[in-house]
Homo-oligomer: A and B are copies of this chain.
């Protein structure tokens, strides 16, 4: 099967490599074309623009960094809309707000194409090993048609209904994750400043009810102040902000998320925005900086 993939950042590159490794033909495009070289060395071909990629492929995936980039590859000159047409599908895996996704959906379908919103849960390593969770919404027919690719990209795909539902589900999941990371950080600081060994806390948590891949995976690195970015903190804070905005539409009061959002902002102000979101631990520690 041949698919297109726009955007070769950490996630886009990892997904492309995984597809190539599993026998897919992949036509790639990236704003900085040189980033395509490594993919080409693994068997990919290159499109000179998003439009060129769409021209060659029945199905094209997008994996852009943020809403502006996601909109740009679709609407700008040389963008997806120049070549999308009946029979072709666009699957946007970027994490964007529901409004952006709606715009892209409208653009694609107005040209007769079919659209699937498909943000993913999981970061670099699950992307490399095809263990992502894919939260799709939009055109069911495209979801079905893309199944061979989705089954390689992720360990599980969900079809959640109308466009917007994938984006919303992603925001909810990331909101919970940010709150859990924040709660865990407060516990680590409380333990340490109360005279306990934080490593022992990790051991205790690992055996109990709140044991999770997140805590297990990131706890030890946090205790070594190692925040090599898997999921940048600035994006985590943006996601909680968007989740709060989603709640605001329906007057949903979310005090924990609101408090976590403020701590992540504090972390941004400390210059931690490009580190892994677990760096919020530094902000929580800073909340009790002894003079």
Contact = CB atoms under 8 A, between A and B. Distances in A.
Interface in A5-59: none
A222 interface: no
A201 B169 contact: yes
Interface string A152-187: 000110101000110011001101110110111011
Interface in A189-224: 189-191, 193-197, 200-201, 203-205, 207-214, 217
Nearest to A156: B207
Contacts of A254: 186, 189-190, 262, 287
A209 B209 contact: no
A79 interface: no
Interface of A is mostly: helix
A105 interface: no
A133 B122 CA distance: 30
A243 interface: yes
A95 interface: no
A76 interface: no
Interface of A: 121-122, 133, 135, 155-156, 158, 160, 164-165, 168-169, 172-173, 175-177, 179-180, 182-184, 186-187, 189-191, 193-197, 200-201, 203-205, 207-214, 217, 241, 243, 246-248, 250-263, 265-266, 268-271, 273, 287-291
Given A133-B204, A258-B262, A270-B289, 13 more contacts: A158-B204, A169-B201, A177-B209, A180-B180, A180-B210, A183-B257, A186-B257, A190-B254, A251-B290, A253-B265, A255-B259, A255-B262, A271-B291
